[in-house]
Amino acid sequence: MSKLLEVSNVRVQFGGVVAVNDVSFSLEEGELLGFIGPNGAGKTTMMRAITGVVTPTSGSILLGQQELISLPIHERVRMGLGFSQQLVKPFRNMTVLENVALTAGAHLTRSPLAALFKVGRDAEQTKARELLELVGISDAADSDPSNLPLGYLKRLEVARALALDPTLLLLDEPLAGLNHAEAHKLADMIVNLNKAGRSIILIEHNLGEVMRICSRLVVQDNGNKIADGDPESVMNTPAVRAAYLGENTDHVAA
Ligand SMILES: Nc1ncnc2c1ncn2[C@@H]1O[C@H](COP(=O)(O)OP(=O)(O)OP(=O)(O)O)[C@@H](O)[C@H]1O
């Protein structure tokens, strides 16, 4: 295995708030890494630093050998970064299939308007159908996303993230708001994506599923990295137990 992502001493500050405090971690090719921590820990901010939505005050983020920090978002996407957002925001007035086909066609042009005219192309439609099948929502291909339950929308968000064939997939709370059975199913799908060769960073509050599917965990609390390692030993670290005090960690072996 070789290193795919190397985050070194990344710091993100919003005025007086240090959301990410000199955090370092890395991801090996083919890993499924759980990135966890209590509310406000700075997990989403870290993801936004990797995708380019926020600019770190200092630090370095290497994807392969390439420094990402000074690159615009679309360059990072072109280099193989894919991400799903915590809040699901599909294009309404467009079918589920068109939503995915539009993203699949985005590499053809940098103008979203021009991309709209290209989604009729067979290649994008076929790819979108395959992705809907993969995430298990092909029965909703012709539906307007406004009429779909959250479980479908979360899967649509993952399908869109996959549409550009990312090497590294960042998933921000894909299981949030899903019931137990739906979360289990989507977590299984994430495992399958990983087994098919996709490297994944999963930001998630559902610790039961994270413990079940991730091979390694990084824990951030209050902007600081407090643990990094195999799930069981990480969850038994005193600092992690303290950070989650009051939250349910009963599933962790004592
Ligand atoms: N754009 C912003 N401007 C100012 N402060 C911000 C901004 N984004 C995040 N923060 C602050 O940074 C800190 C970390 O927030 P962040 O959303 O990254 O945490 P999180 O671990 O993803 O939380 P959650 O699990 O609740 O989604 C919080 O104190 C938050 O209020």
Considering only residues 236 and 124, tell me which one the structure prediction assigns the higher pLDDT: 236
Q: Which atom of ligand 1 is nearest to the CA of 46?
A: 18
- Which two tokens mark 250? 């009963």
* pLDDT, position 120: 56
CB-CB contact of 112 with 65 (8 Å) = no
> pLDDT category, 250, cuts 50, 70, 90?
very low
- Residue for token digits 């349910």? 248
- Residue for token digits 């699949």? 104
The 3-state DSSP class for residue 38 equals: coil
Average model confidence (pLDDT) across the chain: 89
* Separation of CA 17 and ligand 1 centre (Å): 9
Whole-Å CA distances, 214 to 67, 92, 222, 233:
26, 33, 22, 13
Phi and psi for 233 in degrees, rounded to 5? -70, -35
Highest mean pLDDT among 60-64, 96-100, 127-131, 155-159: 60-64
CB-CB contact of 170 with 201 (8 Å) = yes
pLDDT in tens, 203-215: 999 999 999 999 9
Highest mean pLDDT among 30-34, 77-81, 106-110, 158-162: 30-34
What value, to the nearest 5°, has the Cα angle with vertex 163 and ends 186 and 73?
A: 105
Phi and psi for 28 in degrees, rounded to 5? -80, 155
The 3-state DSSP class for residue 245 equals: coil
Its sign, for the CA torsion 67, 68, 70, 72, is positive
Ligand 1 binding pocket (C-beta < 6 A) is 14, 17, 19, 37, 39-45
Phi and psi for 219 in degrees, rounded to 5? -115, 130
CB-CB contact of 143 with 92 (8 Å) = no
Is residue 247 scored above 60 in pLDDT? no
Q: What is the ipTM of this complex?
A: 0.96
CB-CB contact of 97 with 131 (8 Å) = no
What's the predicted TM-score (pTM) here? 0.89
pLDDT in tens, 150-180: 889 989 999 999 998 899 999 999 998 889 9
- The least confident of 108-117, 143-152, 215-224 is 108-117
- For 26-58, give one letter per residue: b (16+ CB within 10 A) or e: ebeeebbbbbbbbeebbbbbbbbbbbbebebee
- 3-state secondary structure string, 94-130? CCHHHHHHHHHCHHHCCCHHHHHCCCCCHHHHHHHHH
Closest residue CA from atom 31 of ligand 1: 40
* pLDDT, position 238: 94
Closest residue CA from atom 6 of ligand 1: 14
User: How many CB atoms lie under 10 A from the CB of residue 97?
Assistant: 23
Ligand 1 pocket test: pick from 11, 39, 44, 171 the residue with the most ligand atoms within 8 Å of its Cβ. Answer: 44
Closest residue CA from atom 17 of ligand 1: 44
* Separation of CA 150 and ligand 1 centre (Å): 23
Q: What is the mean pLDDT of residues 58-79?
A: 95
